Amino acid sequence: MLKKVGIPLAIVVVLIAGYFIFFSGSSSEEGIDLTTKVKRDDLQVDVTVTGELEAKNSVQIMGPNGLPQARIYQVNIDDIVSEGTVVKKGDMVARLDASELMDKIREEELEVEESMNKYEQTQIDTAITLREQRDKIVNLQYDLEQKQLILEQSKFEPPATIKQNELDSEKAERALEQGKQEYQLLRRKSVSEMAQSSTKLLDDKRDLEKLQRLLRELTITAPENGMVIYVRDWDGSKKGKGSQIRTWDPRVATLPDLTSMISRTYVNEVDISRVTTGQEVEIGLDAFPDKKLTGKVTQVANIGEQRPNSDAKVFEVTVEVNENDTTLRPAMTTSNAIITNYIEDVLLVPLEAIHSQGDSLTYVFKKTGLSTVKQQINLGTKGNDMVVVAQGLEENDEVFLSIPNNAEDKPIAYLEEGPQPLTDRGND
């Protein structure tokens, strides 16, 4: 009888034990409380931003400087070599649209033709006018000689006749003198008109030559050997085929000096107060994740700006790369960790382990044996993912990374000197 009762009882015990094992095991897997230990280490505080590599020094490839004189203030890029093309001095880099300039050349050719016609017409008119005046002088000379001959032959005539002949001779002499003076005036006038016509013709020819020279300059060549890199337009886009070259920004492309590079980046207005010149920078490359470089902040903008497709104000920051690496190329994307503070030998815990009550009390959930203590702490400098513990914890103390079960309502274990306000002794 006892054997028959014992067997079912054993089965019940096994089932009950299995039930608790199954459900307790499942519950522990779903509600695992992760912990970490307080460690003593150095804390690096940085501002991490994305940047773009540029050459520190470069040769600018410029458009023609004679466009404003031709009253052309912007011109499209008809063709340009691919970015990254290695060119030699004198090689073609880009070709600019010549349609507007060709219209002006045709207009100037008409001006030259008109000036040439006017010059030739002035030359003919001058020759005719002066020849007529010279003929007139010759006739006046003949008339004077005739009057003088009549006067000479009338010496035996009555006094009145002699007097009349004298008057006619004097009148002919004055006419001849006036004719000579008029010829000099006409000659001076003709010289002036010819000079004006000649000057106008030379000016028009010179203007035409300038336009024709400018037409040749629309084919842009490399001033030095190097690699062609496109420049950024005012809106941040790269100047390529179809972009415009303007008189106030005639840059077509650049030939960078790849031996010295900078990373140009933009820091949010919230973090810019922590960034100053001279700070060290850890630089990573998206193209080469395993490559690590170093740099230094060399320039911080004083005035913020609004970047395209962004609502936040940012400040331009220039970082000079310390290393000379042949793999670096302009326009490569960089990740720049600007080190704003570095503290040695401090107690650190992850930020996710920190909890707060209002704005004046900070605490952690510390594991003590099999129990949990809601421990008040004082904080120091905050990093990106770690924070300095100034008071309340010791090295190797174990704290929870989340709120453990049934621990949120526990009373707070205050520091010996009582509740302390939240402090931050760092730069952030």
CB 281 within 8 A of CB 320: no
Quick check: 92 and 81 in contact, CB under 8 A?
yes
Average pLDDT over residues 326-353: 90
Average pLDDT value for residue range 246-265: 91
Look at residue 258 in the predicted model and tell me its pLDDT: 85
Q: What is the pLDDT of residues 130-160, one digit of tens each?
A: 999 999 999 999 998 998 898 888 888 888 8
Question: For the residues 252-273, what does the mean pLDDT come to?
Answer: 91
User: What Cα–Cα distance (Å) separates residue 240 from each residue in 21, 78, 79, 222, 376?
Assistant: 70, 9, 8, 16, 61
Cβ proximity of 53 and 263 under 8 Å: yes
DSSP 238: B
Pairing of strands 361-368, 371-382: antiparallel
- In the block, which residue shows the tokens 């006094």? 159
Three-state secondary structure call for residue 359 = coil
Q: Which of 322, 275, 386, 312 is nearest to 44 (CA)?
A: 386
CA dist., res. 393 & res. 414, Å (int): 12
Average pLDDT, integer, range 162-180: 90
Average pLDDT over residues 314-339: 91
pLDDT category of residue 324 using cuts at 50, 70 and 90:
confident
Please count the other Cβ atoms lying within 10 Å of the Cβ belonging to residue 226: 22
Task: Please tell me the distance from the alpha carbon of residue 106 to that of residue 64, in angstroms, as a whole number.
Answer: 20
pTM of the model as a whole:
0.57
Helix axes of 159-217 and 99-153: crossing angle, nearest 10 degrees = 170
